Amino acid sequence: MKKLLVPTDFSAPAENAANYAVELACILEADLVLCHAIPSQEAAPTPSQLAWPMLNEQQLRDETEGSLIAAVNQLLEGGCHNQKTYCPKISFHYDEGKVADVIEKFVKELVPELVVMGLTGAGHLVQLALGSNSKRMIDVASSPVLYIPFSASFVPYRKIIFASDLQSDNLDALRHLVGIARPFGAEILVYHVSNYKTRSLEEQHQLDRDFQDTVIAKLEYKHVKYYNVWHDNVDSALEWMRNQEGVDLLAMVHRRHNLIGRLLHGSHTQKSSRLTSIPLLVYQTSNK
């Protein structure tokens, strides 16, 4: 059975991501697993610890379990309606440790289809328990991670953009993405940004043909279209992609020092762009 793993620190952005995940799970016919990282008692005080002063380890675990049970009940009451063809089962896990480490532990144990996490309003990852540690998820996650902006509400996917670097491992990511798009009948637009100053037209056309033959042709999904975009500024090209009408999801494969950093830690203009309202699906090079 498919699973979506949803980390939570019980904040409003995390709650929004969980509500989004329930709606997505109904369409994908997947179950949900909430997970929470209890801050290590040896670590420096965090906002989560300050919210639970003077609690011993067992009390902290009891409080965590009570909060997770309440979160599960709230999701069951609000996210599963009679008109849904599938109503996901919702469970939870928790452990002590750093957020990224705890999430990765449950990823390895549960093998979810997706990890679904929250973003705050300006492209920052959720703070509090999902604070700076969660930024590590971009580098260390062994499962695809879907980041949900705080302003985003779930809508059925109709148009998905995949920003490609034309590497062979894009095939694994796109196959996974097709599995998400297919239940919606969503269109996947694969864009590659080329710079005319660094690559000739003939060279790019050959790369385009190779990518079409080795990746796009193997997807067995008729709603995939590939386009090469000539632009000398990648940030501007990404903004153009995001600002297209009706874009419901932006996806890409993460490599160190690639476009993810531009999207999440770029200029003030980028942080205020429409990325703040479009979910971002990040694949690692090892994701299948």
Q: And the tokens for 149?
A: 């902006």
**Tens-digit pLDDT string for the chain (288 aa):** 699 999 998 988 899 999 999 999 999 999 999 999 988 765 545 555 455 455 577 888 888 889 999 999 999 887 665 556 788 999 999 999 888 889 989 999 999 999 998 876 444 444 433 444 445 666 666 789 998 988 889 999 999 999 888 888 899 999 999 999 999 999 999 998 887 666 677 888 888 888 888 899 999 899 999 988 877 777 777 777 877 889 999 998 877 555 555 555 543 223 333 455 789 898 887 554
Domain ranges of the chain: 2-149, 159-284
CA pair distance 31, 24, nearest whole angstrom: 10
Same fold, 2-149 and 159-284: yes
What CATH number does the domain located at 159-284 have?
A: 3.40.50.620
**Cβ partners under 8 Å of residue 172, min gap 6:** 283, 287, 288
Task: Check if the beta carbon of residue 48 is closer than 8 Å to that of residue 128.
Answer: yes
**Cβ partners under 8 Å of residue 152, min gap 6:** 16, 20, 277, 278, 279
Angle between helices 57-79 and 12-28 (to 10 degrees): 50
pLDDT digits (tens, 9 = 90+) for 140-171: 667 899 989 888 899 999 999 998 888 888 99
Q: Per DSSP, what are the bridge partners of residue 187?
A: 159
Q: Looking at the domain covering 2-149, what would its CATH class be?
A: alpha beta
pLDDT digits (tens, 9 = 90+) for 73-116: 999 887 665 556 788 999 999 999 888 889 989 999 999 999 99
Nearest to 139 by CA among 39, 231, 261: 261
